[in-house]
Chains A and B, each alone.
Chain A
Amino acid sequence: MQRIVIIGNGIAGITAARHIRKHSDDEITVISGETDHFFSRTALMYIYMGHMKYENTKPYEDWFWKKNRINLKRAWVEFIDFEKKQLHLQNSDHIEYDKLLLATGSKSNMFGWPGQDLKGVQGLYSYQDLELMEENTQGINNAVIIGGGLIGVEMAEMLHSRGIPVTFLIREKHFWDNMLPQEEAILIDKHLSKHGIDLRQETELEEILDDGSGKVKGIKTKSGETIDCQFVGLTVGVHPNIDLVKESKIETDRGILVDEYLQTNIPDVYAAGDCVQMKEPMPHRRAIEAVWYAGRMMGETVALTLAGKKTKYQPGIWFNSAKFFDIEYQNYGIVLPQCPEDSSAFYWESQDAEKCIKIIYKKDSLEVQGVNIFGIRNRHEVWDKWLREKRTLDYIIANLPEANFDPEFFKHWEGEIQEKFNEEFPDKKVGVRRKGLLEKILG
């Protein structure tokens, strides 16, 4: 029986712990300084908005860990002695390990702006950040968010739920347009405006202003405009949290460098989740994939290796999801913000600009590369199959109703999408979905 120690109780660390237990009887210890128990980081926003309590965000009841013999330790690790295979905790305790998994997650980016350390300026990643945000936003009149990404829009929604007017500064032309093609980005821009978010495109932060007592009183943009606010959300992305190992023998770049088995350069030391940087990323994939799903999959995979069944990390077809206020987003396969030379995009948008679908396909073969879907739910299973089978655009459009995952009685958009396709590809015409009897009656 070996002693496996995991640093970090987020999705990567905890998934690893659970799967190690499925495959072995090893002693498992999970160390976290953040919280006693695993909670869903993606749900932090809902605690602030009052949709849930902290307790509701814990995917497992507290008895679960003892029952599955997973020891939880609430502590911060100070440094790791890889020679002696020992962790030194801040309270000067020592923990010994046979195998170690680093799952230390991310940290919010701070780009050294003047005033970024003022009170009322923060990012949002950890449970402590949430507590800080609760404190920082008491009784304030205006808030500014810097950086148009997923955490930025979540923060905007959080503040909006408390009736705090939000000015949202993004450096780019449109929301999240380093990830989204322009059409989709514009659709989200419009939706944010509909919710009363004051979106300022192509606006960069110059400095954050001090009210004289160390608190934020406003910001100044590069164009010289000042905006009064008592809270600044810095949401310009995250980077791997490698503070613990930066000065150690572990090879790091932006993240902790690992091979295809998620193993670091040091024997018996592995890493998973946001903190990881793949030495050799797979084709079309980023070296750092700081998303929930990657964390989960790395945890699932590294658990097998740790439990003695050496397994390569091979995530399947890429997928992702998000929600921007009321618009849900799903993505399967590869959709880059700039369409590659050899590819083209099929795009359909609903009249009300609340729903759209973008399918990227190879110009010559019509083979589909990926899809972005907003406001319509689609089946992961079906898209996964289509992309594996390298299906063509006309095949997918013809069979699109099969992928629909919207609740019963929802309006079906596939007919409209197929009609648009038939207009654009008159020589490849597909059958148009006909309305069912019930749909006609209820329509």
Chain B
Amino acid sequence: MKAIRFTGLILFLFSLGLFLSSFFMSTLTLTEETFNSIVKSEHQETLKPVLSETFGNQYSTSIPFVKEINRAVEEVNAQAKTNQEWDKVIYDDYAGSLARASAEGFVPENKLLFFILIYVVGAIGSLMFILPQVKLNGPPGIKNNHIFHHALNNKGWMGILTGALLIGFYILLYFFPAYITNWIIIVDPLQKLINPSATSSQWFLYGFLYTFAVLVMGVRMLIKYRHSKYQIFRTISVMFFQLAFAFLIPEILVRLNQPYFDFKNMWPLDYDFFDAWHINTLTSSGGVGIFMFAWGITLFVVGVPLFVYFFGKRWYCSWVCGCGGLAETAGDPFRQLSDKSLKAWQIERYLVHGVLVFAVIMTIGVLYTFITGSNTIMGLDTYTYLRKPYGFAIGSIFSGVVGTGFYPLMGNRVWCRFGCPLAAYLGLVQRFKSKFRITTNGGQCISCGNCSTYCEMGIDVRWYAQRGQNIIRSSCVGCGVCSSVCPRGVLNLENRDEDGRFNQPILLGNDSFTVSK
């Protein structure tokens, strides 16, 4: 068994190593034909003179190649701006498309092989590492031994290294996708399998890696919590929604010439839902598009209040949502790292509600522009001052780079807790109008702290439990791990009558006096 795990680890590290080194495993040569076929005709005239000297040059990695293209585009743009020829400024990302078309050699010629060696072997290796835990880790039950002794789980060198890799990956993905052309090429065989007429993009790569992580680490989660049906069903649910709703269905829709649409995503998490291009795409795509538009609005207008009233925000955050799905699977090894201090809670409330307000204002601005056709409100451009900063600061940096990159340093719900505007909205409903609560079982709490330690949302669960109070917090995503790790059966997630969530007399088992909240 241990040998299987060891072999699995070696295979996984091999795949990870190959993935990282494949970054360097192609050469790039820009030819005039490629240039002519990729660059729009109106740009060819200005761009060709500054790029033509590179035609035929072979670059050993994407780095000098992309730099060269970007230098040329900047040069053209600088010239156009000095001449005030605004129509000649190039906004297209030619670095990515040219790099993609100019890549040759090992990776592009063997993309299927690379795909198998990285992802198939990687998955096999990971599962060989994970599955033997069924036997090795003893009978079903809570398996938290040595979490705080481990360099990965307790911000040791492995945690810091993992965090650094994740942060680096997100920065490349969001801001420098042209450099990771090889990685994008490698997932092309899968893209072609799902939709033969499509070519893989940075977002396909991301969606695939994301789903891959959710599924593989979902298996780990299933094994770790196999004594708890709540955890099993919940984990299967997030794995299903990620694979089907977030990854496959949108791709299949595109194959069927329908708009790309994730039926479980919703505004304000899906912050470009009301972008003009998105509304136009949906409304110009016939009945299906109109349905998608109506569905998206119904979800957050009716779905959120209704389902949160009956089940709490968990119906979304820890059963359906993609961000939640990643946090609950790949992020599970880091849940104990979320900050439980009162200070962190104060920061959280300002931040997460601040982002919600920002999202609402941004959307109003974008809709104002869409409806009136005017780009400015009180002289301020809605794109420059609202939509663009939101996309950059919240959409990319907060949810991606910080939200996931910092898993191994700040816990697995950094985004959900401090940044997600949808979580804030769901949370407001949960706090004020819901049947959901975590019930505390009378006076049985022994203040051990497992619940607080393993709360990924940084809720100090024990604070309430040791007083015999129910836990009703807007941030609670209902993952149920506090209940799972409680050694005394004190905590239970319940949907019960609204009366009695707060202000009930508290049973502490002491008749000397009576207390209430």
**A contacts, CB < 8 Å to B:** 11, 40, 42-43, 46, 49-53, 56-59, 61, 63, 161, 194-196, 292-293, 296-297, 300-301, 304, 311-317, 319, 321-323, 325-326, 328, 330, 377-381, 384, 405-411, 442
Residues of chain B with a CB closer than 8 A to A328's CB: 487-489
If the complex has contacts A297-B512, A316-B509, A316-B510, are A161 and B447 also in contact, measured as CB distance less than 8 A?
no
If the complex has contacts A300-B512, A315-B512, are A326 and B449 also in contact, measured as CB distance less than 8 A?
no
B116 interface residue (CB < 8 Å to A)? no
Minimum CB–CB distance for A348 against chain B, Å? 18
| Inter-chain contact A50/B150, CB cutoff 8 Å | yes
Q: A61-B341, A325-B141 are in contact. List 17 more A-B contacts (CB 8 A).
A: A52-B449, A56-B449, A58-B449, A194-B139, A195-B138, A196-B138, A292-B446, A293-B444, A297-B510, A304-B513, A315-B510, A316-B509, A319-B443, A377-B441, A377-B489, A380-B509, A409-B233
B372 interface residue (CB < 8 Å to A)? no
Chain A residue with Cβ nearest B442: A380
9 contacts between A and B (CB under 8 A): A46-B450, A50-B147, A51-B144, A304-B513, A315-B512, A380-B443, A405-B489, A407-B230, A408-B230
If the complex has contacts A297-B508, A328-B489, A330-B489, are A40 and B446 also in contact, measured as CB distance less than 8 A?
yes
B502 interface residue (CB < 8 Å to A)? no
Residues of chain B with a CB closer than 8 A to A11's CB: 447
**Which 7 A/B pairs are nearest by Cβ-Cβ distance?**
A380-B442, A326-B141, A377-B489, A50-B146, A43-B448, A409-B229, A297-B510
Chain A residue with Cβ nearest B144: A51
Query: How far is B315's CA from A408's CA once the two chains are assembled, in angstroms?
Result: 13
| Inter-chain contact B444/A51, CB cutoff 8 Å | no
Minimum CB–CB distance for A200 against chain B, Å? 21
CB-CB contacts below 8 Å: B380-413 with A: none
If the complex has contacts A56-B453, A442-B233, are A405 and B492 also in contact, measured as CB distance less than 8 A?
yes
If the complex has contacts A52-B449, A411-B229, are A293 and B492 also in contact, measured as CB distance less than 8 A?
no
Interface centre among B148, B228, B462, by most A CB within 10 Å?
B148
Query: How far is B148's CA from A411's CA once the two chains are assembled, in angstroms?
Result: 32
| Inter-chain contact A61/B508, CB cutoff 8 Å | no
B511 interface residue (CB < 8 Å to A)? yes
Minimum CB–CB distance for B190 against chain A, Å? 33
Query: How far is B142's CA from A59's CA once the two chains are assembled, in angstroms?
Result: 21
Chain B residue with Cβ nearest A191: B139
Minimum CB–CB distance for A31 against chain B, Å? 21
B507 interface residue (CB < 8 Å to A)? yes
Chain A residue with Cβ nearest B341: A61
Q: Give the A-B contact count at a CB cut-off of 8 A.
A: 164
Query: How far is B18's CA from A212's CA once the two chains are assembled, in angstroms?
Result: 56
Residues of chain A with a CB closer than 8 A to B508's CB: 296-297, 300
Interface centre among B341, B441, B452, B493, by most A CB within 10 Å?
B441
Query: How far is B362's CA from A310's CA once the two chains are assembled, in angstroms?
Result: 60
B484 interface residue (CB < 8 Å to A)? yes
| Inter-chain contact B444/A380, CB cutoff 8 Å | yes
| Inter-chain contact A381/B511, CB cutoff 8 Å | no
Residues of chain B with a CB closer than 8 A to A410's CB: 228-230
Interface centre among B145, B341, B508, by most A CB within 10 Å?
B145
Chain A residue with Cβ nearest B141: A326
| Inter-chain contact A43/B512, CB cutoff 8 Å | no
Minimum CB–CB distance for A301 against chain B, Å? 4
B182 interface residue (CB < 8 Å to A)? no
Partner of B146, one of A58, A161, A304, A330: A161
Partner of B444, one of A50, A56, A314, A330: A330
Query: How far is B510's CA from A42's CA once the two chains are assembled, in angstroms?
Result: 20
Residues of chain A with a CB closer than 8 A to B439's CB: 405
Query: How far is B135's CA from A196's CA once the two chains are assembled, in angstroms?
Result: 13
Query: How far is B505's CA from A109's CA once the two chains are assembled, in angstroms?
Result: 39
If the complex has contacts A42-B446, A57-B449, A316-B510, are A380 and B441 also in contact, measured as CB distance less than 8 A?
yes
B480 interface residue (CB < 8 Å to A)? yes
If the complex has contacts A59-B462, A300-B510, A316-B510, are A40 and B447 also in contact, measured as CB distance less than 8 A?
yes
Residues of chain B with a CB closer than 8 A to A316's CB: 509-511
CB-CB contacts below 8 Å: B220-234 with A: 227-230, 232-233
Minimum CB–CB distance for B489 against chain A, Å? 4
Partner of A405, one of B148, B227, B441, B509: B441
Residues of chain B with a CB closer than 8 A to A301's CB: 510, 512-513
Minimum CB–CB distance for A311 against chain B, Å? 5
